Amino acid sequence: MAKRSTSRLKGKSITISEENERLKGANQRLTKENDNLKGKLASENEKAFRKLRTVLAAANMCSENADHAVAQEKERPIRNGAGRSKSSTGQTKPKTKPEILSVPEIKQFWEMILRQKAFLEEMNQWIAKAVNALYVFAKNRDLISSRGGGRS
């Protein structure tokens, strides 16, 4: 009877050792797969940041071009008193904003500038959210790594 118990224990220890080896192999395979996925994720994040930077740079350039166009428009001499009216003293005074915006071309240009400004504000919000999400991701990853509970 003692022989049966001993052989049963040896069989169980061999089974446990085999299971342990199988689990170690699975762990190594999953760790490698996890590292590959982390690399792909980092690559995708970098691509997304490059794309955001490109879009933001283009939007900033459009905004700068619009600002430059506005500055040029202000410097351009006004023909036939279109933008100014003469007072009784002979001096010219600027028209009010509603009077200026009544000109269709100026109104279109002003609306374009407002749309670009809204776009830039939205892009800045997106970038801030992306940076915050990456910060939270990195912080959580560091916490998991420091505890030794996660696969690295």
**Domain membership flag for residue 35:** no
**pLDDT tens-digit series, residues 31-41:** 898 888 888 87
**Domain membership flag for residue 4:** no
- Burial class of residue 66 in the structure, from the number of CB atoms within 10 Å of its CB (0-12 exposed, 13-18 middle, 19+ buried): middle
**Residues 63, 117: contact at Cβ < 8 Å?**
yes
Predicted confidence band of residue 120 (pLDDT cuts 50, 70, 90): very high
**Domain membership flag for residue 87:** no
Calpha distance 92→81 (Å, rounded): 8
pLDDT value at position 152?
45
Calpha distance 138→142 (Å, rounded): 6
**Domain membership flag for residue 55:** yes
**Domain membership flag for residue 121:** yes
**pLDDT tens-digit series, residues 43-87:** 877 777 777 777 777 777 777 777 777 777 777 665 545 444 455
**Domain membership flag for residue 12:** no
**Domain membership flag for residue 9:** no
Query: Taking the model in full, what pTM does it have?
Result: 0.33
**Domain membership flag for residue 56:** yes
In the chain, how many domains are there? 1
Predicted confidence band of residue 97 (pLDDT cuts 50, 70, 90): confident
Helices marked H in the chain — which ranges?
2-75, 97-101, 104-147
Q: Is the pLDDT of residue 139 over 80?
A: yes
Q: Is the pLDDT of residue 131 over 80?
A: yes
- Residues in the chain, how many? 152
Domain housing 136: 46-75+95-152
Predicted confidence band of residue 124 (pLDDT cuts 50, 70, 90): very high
Mean pLDDT of the chain: 76
pLDDT value at position 1?
54
